[in-house]
Amino acid sequence: MLWALALLLAFLAPATQVSSNLEGTQMSVTRQAGSSAVITCDIKQSNNYVHWYRYQEGTAPQRLLYYQLSSSKFVMDSGFSSQKYHAYAGTGKTCELLIKILEESDSGVYYCACDRSNWIKKFGKGTKLIVTPSGRRLPADISPKPTIFLPSIAEIKLQKAGTYLCLLEEFFPDVIKVFWKEKNSNTILESQQGNTMKTDNTYMKLSWLTVTGKSMDKEHRFIVQHENNKGGVDQEILFPSVNKVVTSMATTTGPTKASPTEESIATTPDSTIVSPTEESELAALNYTQACLNDESDTLRLQLTNTSAYYTYLVFLLVSAVYLATVALCVLRRTAVCGNGKIS
């Protein structure tokens, strides 16, 4: 697990596409071979045509068809069949693309684009279609499962800053979006994240946020967007303020055990017992309580957090050594680091 975390810290994920006209409600759609899939395009402005494109790695984007909103008819492009693809108007301002009798070769990113007859098309964010083999059986729960790490006393004292970390595990597919906000703000904060990494048949991802100055008095939200989030809503985890973490550790005199109800809420963030925000806050607070279950005093708790802090520094050191090694190989242009030929 430690090496997996180190690898996650070593790489940053690429940015996602943004559209000014279309709203992408689906980042991904996962279906088994032989079934059908529907991809939705939300149209915010008045348009005459909706075009559907498919992009597969290594090839140029291909237009499948275009749909005329006024006549409710679609026209296939050459090389594609209406037996496979069908477009129609959905509820509200939406257009749907139906893909029938799925094959693994249908996997790719599907884009909708709109125009008003002036040939200027505005594209949506794209929806990734993942077609799995018909015999493949995924776990029943493939939503992202968070483990949170609060700032350590050592980091706060030495760096005058606090770092929140959240590890997401056992989710599928790999399409996921995470970001951080202050509790009462909609502004996305600058943070860091590792690449999404494959572990057996599922994926994992790490993200972290470092706060300083006045932000240490504020609570922060970690937001997860994923196809298989329970209830189909964004998963939110509320982190206590850095200064509250310091205060709680300073005033703790003995172990605290969470009640069965609290424990169940902490492990099921989408529970309907409380609102999503309350669930997230309990998840963060109960994680701290879980750390206290096997500790006898504040000193041992601080040692645990200090250990986590220095482990985090080791991860960064491993990343630096790795990058230095790669740079050295490139400079020397050895046969090992190149394509087998010395230039």
pLDDT for the residue 318: 64
Helix, strand or coil, per DSSP, at residue 124:
coil
pLDDT for the residue 314: 57
Question: How far apart (Å, rounded) are the C-alpha atoms in residues 167 and 8?
Answer: 10
Question: Does domain 140-302 sit in CATH 2.60.40.10?
Answer: yes
Residues in the chain: 343
Question: How far apart (Å, rounded) are the C-alpha atoms in residues 61 and 44?
Answer: 24
- Provide the strand spans (E) within 141-219: 145-149, 161-171, 176-182, 192-193, 197-199, 202-212
Question: How far apart (Å, rounded) are the C-alpha atoms in residues 343 and 320?
Answer: 27
Look-up of token digits 């594609």: 80
Domain with CATH 2.60.40.10 in the chain: 22-132, 140-302
Q: What is the CATH number of domain 22-132?
A: 2.60.40.10
pLDDT for the residue 98: 98
Question: How far apart (Å, rounded) are the C-alpha atoms in residues 195 and 8?
Answer: 6
As a whole number of Å, the CA-based R_g of the chain is 24
- Mention every residue, 6+ apart, whose C-beta is less than 8 A from residue 226: 27, 143, 144, 171, 175, 176, 177, 235
Q: Is 170 left (phi over 0), alpha (psi -120 to 50) or beta?
A: left
Tokens of 62: 């291909």
Q: What is the pTM of this model?
A: 0.66
Determine phi and psi for 131, rounding to 5 degrees: -105, 115
Distances (CA, A) of 322 to 10, 116, 141: 8, 51, 35
Distances (CA, A) of 140 to 119, 145, 172, 202, 220: 45, 13, 11, 12, 30
Residues of the chain with pLDDT under 50: 1-23, 253-303, 334-343
Distances (CA, A) of 263 to 58, 59, 115: 47, 49, 51
* CA nearest to 237, candidates 293, 183, 291: 183
- The angle at the Cα of 289, spanning 283 to 293, to the nearest 5 degrees, equals 135
pLDDT for the residue 307: 54
pLDDT for the residue 324: 74
125 burial via Cβ count (<10 Å: 0-12, 13-18, 19+)? middle
Question: How far apart (Å, rounded) are the C-alpha atoms in residues 266 and 249?
Answer: 20
Q: Is the dihedral of CA 324, 325, 326, 332 positive or negative?
A: positive
